[in-house]
Chains A and B, each alone.
Chain A
Amino acid sequence: MAALIAALITGFTTGGLSCMAVQGGLLASSLAQLIEKDLLGKRGGRDQWNIGLPIFLFLISKLAAYTILGGLLGGLGKLFQLDPLSQAVLQFIIAFFIIGNALRMLNVHPLFRYFTFEPPAFITRLIRKKTRQAASFTTPIMLGAMTVLIPCGVTQTMMAAAIATGDVLSGAALMFAFTLGASPVFFLLSYFATKLGALTEKYFTRIAAVVLIVFGLLAVNSGLNLLGSRYSLSRLAENAVSAVEIRHQGQASATPGTDLVLNVVDRGYRPKRLHAPAGVPLTLTLVTKEVHSCSRAFLIPALDYGVILLATGEEKVQIPPQEPGTILPFTCSMGMYSGEIIFDL
């Protein structure tokens, strides 16, 4: 659920602007012109509703097309998503792709243009041909569906995230949330396309690029978490915070002969840091209660252990004796949520 809300917010804040910059210039402007020239012209006046309806149809069609695409990408991810190492590699590839795309949007060097998908000439020709056809309500519907062929940088990022979900429904839901979030801004910008088009392209693309760099760093962070690295950005931040916190805040300890208990919640793991005795086998009990986020896909990379937890229930993990000072990181399967067990008792 957290990922869907993040996708929705991403769509609302940057997706609409970025999509407008890439797709809006031609499609929405052409659409608006078609509407004004062909539809309204025939009816003899400017009717606000008539301008809005074809744009609305365009966006509904776009929403449906991207949801289907998200499902297909999620299914594709399932084929390749097998173990934490391959997931980490995928995250690094996504990060490379995202940051390259952001640098392209910032116009750092023409080389970065190769980070974007350029549709073959016959497809661009087909799209343009469609925009020139006599206007009807099927035109915006067709054009909306065709936007999957020219995704913007932020959308491409979200498509990569849909692959990373490794699930048809999750991929579809992610793209649905993102496209839905982007729709209001896209609608408004399309509505005022002729006035705002150039401004949108010039300034908002840069904002979207900066946000993409943040996403790129988050993907690097996820990759490092999946590798069980102590040097992921989130762990470094946690360590910095914990250095000034009272030691027992947000932490839990186990004494020899007792279980460690970790509460798995929608937004991660509580506590994030567990202290355990070294040199003895331990049982880690994972407790879930109505959990519906990716935190249910629990991994301990160093032990090569992974489990999909029930939404509500308990799962016991046997941890073999560890050397004193060992730190055992754990994470969700997407590397979004993480924590660690420290063997220092």
Chain B
Amino acid sequence: MKRVELRVMDMHCTSCALRLQGLEDLLAGVIRVEASYRKGKMTVTFDESKVTVKDLVEGARKLGYTAVE
């Protein structure tokens, strides 16, 4: 299990943080997403045998956000 913090500066309201939690459904292997609009970042706990950081960035892009490590 691994934890990574990604910067997401294009969130524009608190609901964006909710949307980013959708990564838990979108990607098998994502265990927990903690996103904060105020801080402009999200912390993702994931199973590195099933998903990579690159997958997380791509998943965020599908949800409409630019995540940067």
Number of B interface residues, CB 8 Å? 18
Is B22 a contact of A128 with CB atoms below 8 Å? yes
A119 with B14, Cβ < 8 A, contacts A125-B21, A128-B22, A132-B25 known: yes
Please name all residues of chain A whose beta carbon is closer than 8 Å to the beta carbon of B38 when the two chains form the complex: 113-114, 116, 118
0/1 interface trace, chain A 14-37, chain B, CB 8 Å (1 if under): 000000011101110000000000
The answer, among A22, A114, A121, for a CB contact under 8 Å with B15, is A22
A105 to B14, CA, bound (A): 11
B18 touches A118 (CB 8 A): no
Using an 8 Å CB-CB cutoff, how does the interface string of B3-42 with A read, 1 for contact, 0 for none? 0000001001111111101100100000000101110100
Nearest B residue to A116 by beta-carbon distance? B14
Q: B25: which A residues are within 8 A, CB to CB?
A: 132
A201 within 8 A of B: yes
- Write out the residue numbers on chain B whose beta carbons fall within 8 Å of the beta carbon of A152: 13
Residue among B12, B14, B64 making CB contact with A118, cutoff 8 Å: B14
In the docked arrangement, what's the CA distance between A117 and B13, Å?
A: 10
The dominant DSSP class at the A interface is helix
A124 touches B37 (CB 8 A): no
Contact residues of A between 141 and 170, Cβ < 8 Å to B: 150, 152
A205 at the interface (CB under 8 A from B): yes
Min Cβ gap A57→B in Å is 20
Query: Are A25 and B36 interface neighbours, CB within 8 A?
Result: no
Partner of A113, one of B18, B21, B34, B40: B40
Q: Is the CB of A116 within 8 A of B13?
A: yes
Which chain B residues border A22 with CB–CB below 8 Å? 13-15
In the complex, A3 has a CB within 8 A of chain B: no
Whether the pair A25, B37 counts as a contact (CB closer than 8 A) is no
Within 8 A of B (CB), among A82-129: 105, 107, 110, 113-114, 116-119, 121, 124-125, 127-128
Q: 8 tightest A-B contacts by CB?
A: A22-B13, A113-B38, A26-B15, A26-B18, A124-B18, A25-B15, A118-B14, A118-B38
Residues on A lying within 8 angstroms of B by beta carbon are: 21-23, 25-27, 105, 107, 110, 113-114, 116-119, 121, 124-125, 127-128, 132, 150, 152, 198, 201, 205
| Further pairs besides A21-B12, A114-B38: 9, Cβ < 8 Å | A25-B16, A26-B19, A27-B15, A110-B40, A118-B38, A128-B21, A132-B25, A150-B14, A198-B64
B: residues with CB less than 8 A from A are: 9, 12-19, 21-22, 25, 34, 36-38, 40, 64
